[in-house]
Structure 1
Amino acid sequence: MSHSIAVDRALVVISFKRRLAYKSHWFFGLAIGGGSMLIAMVMWQNLIGSGTLSGYDWDSMRAYTIIGFVAATMVFGAADWIMADRILDGHIAVDLTKPVDFQRARAAEYVGSMLSTFPTAVMGVVAAWLLFQPPGPATPLAGLLTVVSFLLMFPLAFGLTYLSTLVCFWTKRYLGIMWLREALLSFFSGLMIPLAFMPGWLQAVAWALPFPHFTTTPSAIYLGRVDTAGALGLLAAEAAWAVGLWVLGWLVFRTAVKKVTVHGG
């Protein structure tokens, strides 16, 4: 057990250092994400003004937008191409000979890459806080539970990303798969617009998927739109999705490796 943990830790550190070697990614991510956040702030300020829209006023929308920025930075800034390339270029055949579980190793590398987004997220949040002065959490407990929700995003994001990269066993490209996953996540998480703005039937569809836990869940907890019992229920659902996606990924991988096709020379 201790040896397995040591391997996990080593993979996290290696992935983290690999991402830190490209510091331009921080500033590029900050420019793209920060620019999008600024545009969203201006848009919502003009739409909401001094009123409310589906229960959101300008104060709550400022906090909501910043939470969405942090979630997007974590999820979209992680390295998923490394996993996909290992399948597409045939390195998966070498991985299968190693005494290390493939899924667990990729999870450790993914966590390391997500941790590398921390500087970008911090810089963006500090700048947004100084510029827009959003409200704090509804209660200290709400703030703590919001942090728990963000921590659960690590395994949840990995589960979705891992499943999408496994599709490469049956395709010759990954770019379209990545675009589809990111589009679904952006829309059904509430990152584009809050789910509360959507028709009831579309909200029901969204909540039947894991995506809302990337933006709607932490923002609902932070803003006090749910009580303590509701917050714990959302966190339980988020954790259940993380476990379920891990098991599903394990099952799909077992099926996929029965026949490995290498694309390339």
Structure 2
Amino acid sequence: MTQGFAVDRAFATVAFKRRLAYKIQWMVALVLGGGAMLVSMAMWRNLLADGALSGYDWESMRAYIIIGFITATVVFGAADWHIADRILDGHIAIDLTKPVDFQRARAAEYIGSMISTVPTVIVGVVGAWLLFDPPGPASALAGVLTAVSFVLIFPLAFGITYLTVLVCFWTKRYIGVMWLREALLGFFSGMMIPLAFMPSWLQAVAWALPFPHFTTTPAAIYLGRVDTAGALGLLAAEAAWALGLWFGGRLVFRQAVKKVTVHGG
């Protein structure tokens, strides 16, 4: 087991260093993500003014937008194309001959690339905190549980990404699948607008999917919109989705490798 974790750490370290080599990506992510956050702040400040919508006033919305920035930066900044390229260019055939679990190795690489976005997150959050002075967590426990939710986003994001990447075995293309995944995640997670603003039937659809746990769950816990029991329930659901997607990915992979082709052969 110790050797297995050493291999995981090696894959994660390589992915982390690979992302660090392209420092311009940090600046691009910070400019784009920070710019989007500033636009959202300005829009919601004008919309909410001195009032509130569905329980969100300007004070709580400031914290919500920053949480959305954190999750979007981490999730959308990960290196999913590296996994897809191994399938599309045929390297998967070589991977299958190695004594390393393909899914576990890709998970280590993916999480390593997600960790590389942390400096961007820190700079963005510190800047937003100085500019907008958002409220702190509803309680110390809420802050801790919010941190747990953020940690669970790492395996959850990999699970969703890995399943969509496996679609490449059938489509032989990835960019359209990636765009669809990011659109669904951005909308149903609450990154675009809080789910509370949506019709009840659309909220029900969203909560039947894993996406709300990327933004709505940590925001609800942080702002105290759920009690301790509710927060623990949300975290349990988030962890269950992460586990379910992991094992679902293993089942799909067993079928997908039957369609391996290299240069059309």
User: Normalised by the shorter chain, which TM-score bucket?
Assistant: over 0.9
In 2, Cα distance between the equivalents of 1:135 and 1:264? 56
Q: Write the mapping of 1:101-140 to structure 2, written as runs, cut at 5 A.
A: 101-140=101-140
Instruction: Report the equivalent of 2:36.
Output: 36
Give aligned pairs, total: 265
In 2, Cα distance between the equivalents of 1:136 and 1:65? 13
Deviations 1:197-226 (A, max 9, x none): 000000000000000000000000000000
Instruction: Report the equivalent of 1:191.
Output: 191
Instruction: Report the equivalent of 1:66.
Output: 66
Q: What SS class does the counterpart of residue 236 from structure 2 fall into? A: helix
Once the 2 structures are TM-superposed, how far is the Cα of residue 67 of structure 1 from its aligned partner? 0.1
Q: What SS class does the counterpart of residue 29 from structure 2 fall into? A: helix
The answer to whether the aligner puts 1:144 opposite 2:118 as a matched pair is: no
Deviations 1:142-188 (A, max 9, x none): 00000000000000000000000000000121100000000000000
Q: What SS class does the counterpart of residue 234 from structure 1 fall into? A: helix
Q: Write the mapping of 1:74-223 to structure 2, written as runs, cut at 5 A.
A: 74-223=74-223
Q: Which runs of 5+ in 2 are unaligned?
A: none
Instruction: Read off the aligned partner of 1:156 and give its amino acid letter.
Output: L
Percent identity for Structure 1 against Structure 2 = 77
Q: Please tell me the root mean square deviation across aligned C-alpha atoms, in Å.
A: 0.9
Q: Which runs of 5+ in 1 are unaligned?
A: none
Q: What SS class does the counterpart of residue 257 from structure 1 fall into? A: helix
Instruction: Report the equivalent of 2:243.
Output: 243
Once the 2 structures are TM-superposed, how far is the Cα of residue 263 of structure 1 from its aligned partner? 4.5
Contact 1:172 1:263 in 2 (8 A): no
Contact 1:137 1:223 in 2 (8 A): yes
Once the 2 structures are TM-superposed, how far is the Cα of residue 264 of structure 1 from its aligned partner? 6.5
Q: What SS class does the counterpart of residue 152 from structure 1 fall into? A: helix
In 2, Cα distance between the equivalents of 1:230 and 1:182? 27
Instruction: Read off the aligned partner of 2:146 and give its amino acid letter.
Output: T
In 2, Cα distance between the equivalents of 1:77 and 1:127? 19
Instruction: Report the equivalent of 1:45.
Output: 45
What is the TM-score normalised by the length of structure 1? Answer: 0.99
In 1, Cα distance between the equivalents of 2:182 and 2:259? 28
Task: Decide whether aligned partners of structure 1 residues 127 and 167 sit closer, same or farther in structure 2, where only a CA change above 3 A counts.
Answer: same
In 2, Cα distance between the equivalents of 1:12 and 1:159? 16
Q: Which runs of 4+ in 1 moved over 4 A?
A: none
Once the 2 structures are TM-superposed, how far is the Cα of residue 3 of structure 1 from its aligned partner? 1.0
Q: What SS class does the counterpart of residue 56 from structure 2 fall into? A: coil
Task: Decide whether aligned partners of structure 1 residues 71 and 263 sit closer, same or farther in structure 2, where only a CA change above 3 A counts.
Answer: farther
Deviations 1:234-260 (A, max 9, x none): 000000000000010000000011221
Instruction: Read off the aligned partner of 2:224 and give its amino acid letter.
Output: G
What is the TM-score normalised by the length of structure 2? Answer: 0.99
The answer to whether the aligner puts 1:55 opposite 2:55 as a matched pair is: yes
In 1, Cα distance between the equivalents of 2:202 and 2:101? 38
Mean Cα displacement is larger for which, 254-263 or 7-16?
254-263
